[in-house]
């Protein structure tokens, strides 16, 4: 068995392995490139008894898939739980990773290594799509704000919702007398429409992947008022597998809804949430707080009681965590939400299938 550590970069990587030189145990470091020839040269040096540790980077999952068939285990180290000290160079980083891997394997055991969970390809696709979807939505918001800013500079104010309709867009253009400003608004409206088309296309792809691989989970989560197919899939994209969370506390902490707790004698201090956790689900659920509040008398009473003594931000996060606790047990036990609205559920389910069906139609036409 050999321990191998890799400091991974965008076009190359540095590998460190312990070897024998003149009767002394030393760390041997060598640089390779991320091309077919160099990777083949590297995989020829590996064996089925090796453990490989990689520092978590953007292309770590891709590299994990490339070398997994040639070794016993590939571990993507959670760098948030590892402190590096000293000078930072590629060779030093590889050596330090090797020290960490050897320590855990020889002292604590492989199960104690702070590793990053490697999701399947469908979860990775969902995460990529959600990143692109959020980017398009951000572009749309920025363009709408800029259009309103130009209109205000010329003494005109319209509702932001009016820019969603063709009539509203034409009205916004007609309000401006200045030729340059009018051309600027026209161009931004064109960009706005293109970004909206891209966002809709991405949403269709997200829905299609959801229907193909996670339909039962999505429809179960949508029984919660306030959960759309997008927020349900955001949760699935974040957690990947519900069974990898042994407790609901770990589940909520991973989704950035569990604060750090400091206790001493009879004093308890609630700190900030864990910023190293995933935030996609929370970003969607914060938009549905009022839906959650009105979903049942239980959640409504809980929200109103907290709101009277705490700020809006803490109350909102507490309610979201309460909802996520319900989602956790629903997925674990394969049960629907206790206070679901049947008519609302039917509408959401139909919308989900209609949007996913657009991709299926395109696939059939191209076949």
SS3 16: strand
Confidence of residue 363 (pLDDT cuts 50, 70, 90): confident
Cα dihedral 58/134/299/314 (nearest 10): 70
What average pLDDT is seen over the chain? 89
pLDDT digits (tens, 9 = 90+) for 134-191: 999 999 999 999 999 999 999 988 887 888 888 988 998 999 888 999 999 999 999 9
For the four alpha carbons of 229, 230, 232 and 238, in that order, the dihedral sign comes to positive
Helices and strands of the chain, counted as H and E runs: 14, 7
Distances (CA, A) of 24 to 41, 60, 275: 26, 32, 43
Residue 270 pLDDT: 57
Residue 110 is predicted with a pLDDT of 86
pLDDT tens readout for residues 313-336: 888 988 999 999 999 999 999 999
Look at residue 247 in the predicted model and tell me its pLDDT: 94
Q: What percent helix, strand, coil does the chain show, rounded to 5?
A: 60, 15, 25
Quickly tell me which residue has 């509040």 as its tokens. Answer: 293
Whether residue 349 is predicted with pLDDT greater than 90 in this model: the reply is yes
CATH class name, domain 3-112: alpha beta
Return the percentage of the chain with pLDDT > 70, whole number. Answer: 93
Rounded to 10 degrees, the C-alpha dihedral 5/246/220/233 comes to -20
Give the pLDDT of residue 267. Answer: 58
Residue 364: pLDDT over 70: no
Q: Tens digit of pLDDT for each residue in 262-314?
A: 655 565 555 566 666 788 999 999 989 988 988 888 898 998 888 887 778 88
What does the pLDDT read at residue 309?
A: 76
Average pLDDT over residues 240-268: 81
The three-state secondary structure class of 152 is: helix
């Amino acid at each position: 068995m050999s321990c191998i550590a890799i400091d991974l970069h965008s076009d190359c990587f540095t590998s460190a392995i312990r070897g024998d030189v003149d009767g002394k145990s030393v760390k041997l470091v060598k640089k390779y490139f991320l091309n077919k020839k160099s990777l083949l040269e590297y995989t020829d040096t590996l064996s089925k008894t090796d453990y490989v540790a990689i520092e978590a980077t953007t292309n770590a999952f891709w590299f994990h898939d490339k070398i997994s068939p040639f070794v016993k285990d590939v571990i993507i180290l959670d760098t948030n739980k590892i402190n590096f000290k000293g000078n930072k160079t590629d060779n030093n980083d590889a050596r330090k990773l090797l020290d960490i891997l050897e320590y855990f394997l020889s002292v604590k055991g492989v199960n104690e290594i702070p590793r990053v969970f490697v999701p399947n390809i469908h979860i990775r696709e969902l995460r990529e799509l959600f990143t692109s979807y959020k980017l398009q939505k951000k572009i749309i918001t920025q363009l709408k704000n800029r259009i309103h800013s130009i209109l205000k500079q010329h003494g005109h104010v319209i509702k932001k919702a009016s820019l969603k309709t063709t009539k509203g867009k034409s009205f916004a253009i007609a309000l401006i007398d200045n030729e340059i400003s009018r051309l600027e608004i026209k161009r931004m409206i064109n960009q706005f429409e293109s970004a909206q088309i891209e966002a809709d296309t991405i949403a269709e792809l997200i829905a299609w992947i959801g229907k193909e691989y996670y339909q039962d989970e999505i429809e179960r989560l949508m029984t919660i008022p306030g959960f759309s197919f997008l927020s349900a899939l955001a949760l699935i994209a974040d957690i990947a597998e519900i069974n990898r969370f042994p407790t609901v506390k770990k589940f909520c902490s991973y989704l950035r809804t569990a604060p750090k707790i400091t206790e001493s004698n009879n004093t308890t201090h609630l700190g900030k949430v864990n910023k190293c956790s995933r935030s996609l689900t929370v970003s969607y659920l914060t938009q549905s707080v009022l839906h959650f509040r009105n979903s049942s008398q239980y959640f409504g009473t809980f929200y109103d009681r907290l709101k009277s003594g705490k700020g809006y931000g803490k109350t909102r996060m507490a309610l979201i965590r309460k909802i996520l606790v319900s989602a956790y047990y629903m997925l674990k036990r394969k049960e629907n939400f206790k206070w679901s609205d049947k008519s609302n559920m039917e509408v959401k389910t139909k919308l989900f299938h209609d949007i996913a069906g657009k991709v299926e139609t395109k696939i059939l036409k191209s076949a």
